[in-house]
């Protein structure tokens, strides 16, 4: 098989050992890839980032307290997805969505309210590629896939900051398309982001596999008619449980 991938919910890397049997699916011509928890991860936890930025604004918050509440707040939030908007309005919608999550997080730990300047700086903090890392196996695997002729697209439940992150982390040249939920108008497990990625790759669902790490990846891929492989990454932060879709 041209694609050295993972055994569903077993391997923690993007390459299957020779002893592992590949799934009995048609040989793909393209791959759709989740971002957070699959290709990239935060260097430090969400709570650590919040604590650092809050301290610049004169607020002391406990990183571990934020890490304890943030995953549930993120999972219970409405989809990070908006209707057709121009660039300025979409950015405002993205900032507003995250501002609500920030306010909910500070309220959940009993901290003083996060004022607009702090909300803005937290949004910008996680737009910095320096706050993120690429998993060690990713770049080499993406290069191998491209060398075999596979077309590659990212499908992520995130906002347009992801474009800058992938560029800054050196992954953009290895990808043919990037679809983020905020501009797609729908978030996984809705099949629409997958459909947009397939359209960008000019491939049909019978020609493509999806690789991700969350239930939303599995359910969304199935809804879009795609086989799905799930990774189980070993993360040093809580970002996989917080922002892994």
Contact yes or no for 80/158 (Cβ under 8 A)? yes
Q: Which of the 8 DSSP states describes residue 24?
A: S
Does this model's pTM top 0.85? My answer is yes
Provide the pLDDT confidence category of residue 69 given band limits of 50, 70 and 90: very high
Mean pLDDT throughout 167-183? 98
Quick check: 95 and 120 in contact, CB under 8 A? yes
* Distances 230 to 11, 65, 102, 153, 190 between C-alpha atoms, Å: 9, 29, 29, 16, 17
Distance, CA of 72 to CA of 77 (rounded, Å): 8
Residue 32 has a CB neighbour count (10 Å cut-off) of: 31
* pLDDT tens figures, 4-59: 444 333 334 565 434 345 557 889 999 999 999 999 999 999 999 999 999 999 99
The pLDDT, as a whole number, for residue 83 is 82
pLDDT reported for residue 239 = 52
The fold adopted by the segment(s) 46-130 is DNA polymerase; domain 1 (1.10.150)
pLDDT given at position 107: 98
- Ranges of each domain in the chain: 30-42+132-243, 46-130
Lowest mean pLDDT among 114-118, 160-164, 230-234, 241-245: 241-245
Residues 146, 175 contacting (CB under 8 angstroms): no
What radius of gyration do the chain's Cα atoms show?
Answer: 18
Q: How far does CA 136 lie from the centroid of its chain?
A: 17
Q: What is the pLDDT of residues 76-96, one digit of tens each?
A: 999 999 989 999 999 999 999
The rounded distance, in Å, linking the Cα atoms of 30 and 42 is: 27
- Contact call for residues 239 and 220 (beta carbons, < 8 A): no
| CATH assignment, 30-42+132-243 | 3.40.50.1000
pLDDT tens-digit series, residues 121-170: 999 999 999 999 999 999 999 999 999 999 999 999 999 999 999 999 99
């Amino acid at each position: 098989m041209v694609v050295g991938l993972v055994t569903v919910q077993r391997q923690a890397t993007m390459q299957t050992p020779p002893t592992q049997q590949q799934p009995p699916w048609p040989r793909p011509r393209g791959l759709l890839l989740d971002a957070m928890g699959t290709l990239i991860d935060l260097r430090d936890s969400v709570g650590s980032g919040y604590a650092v930025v809050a301290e610049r604004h004169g607020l002391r918050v406990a990183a571990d307290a934020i890490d304890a509440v943030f995953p549930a707040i993120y999972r219970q939030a409405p989809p990070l997805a908006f209707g057709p908007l121009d660039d300025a309005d979409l950015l405002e919608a993205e900032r507003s969505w995250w501002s609500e999550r920030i306010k909910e997080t500070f309220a959940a730990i009993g901290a003083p309210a996060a004022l607009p300047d702090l909300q803005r700086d937290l949004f910008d903090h996680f737009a910095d590629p320096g706050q993120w890392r690429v998993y060690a196996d990713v770049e080499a695997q993406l290069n191998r896939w491209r060398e075999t002729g596979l077309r590659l697209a990212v499908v992520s439940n995130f906002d347009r900051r992801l474009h800058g992150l992938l560029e800054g982390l050196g992954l953009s040249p290895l990808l043919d398309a990037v679809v983020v939920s905020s501009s797609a108008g729908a978030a996984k497990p809705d099949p629409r982001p997958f459909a947009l990625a397939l359209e960008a790759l000019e491939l049909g669902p019978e020609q493509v596999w999806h690789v991700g790490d969350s239930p939303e990846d599995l359910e969304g891929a199935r809804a879009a008619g795609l086989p799905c492989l799930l990774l189980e990454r070993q993360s040093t932060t809580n970002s996989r449980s917080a922002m892994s879709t």
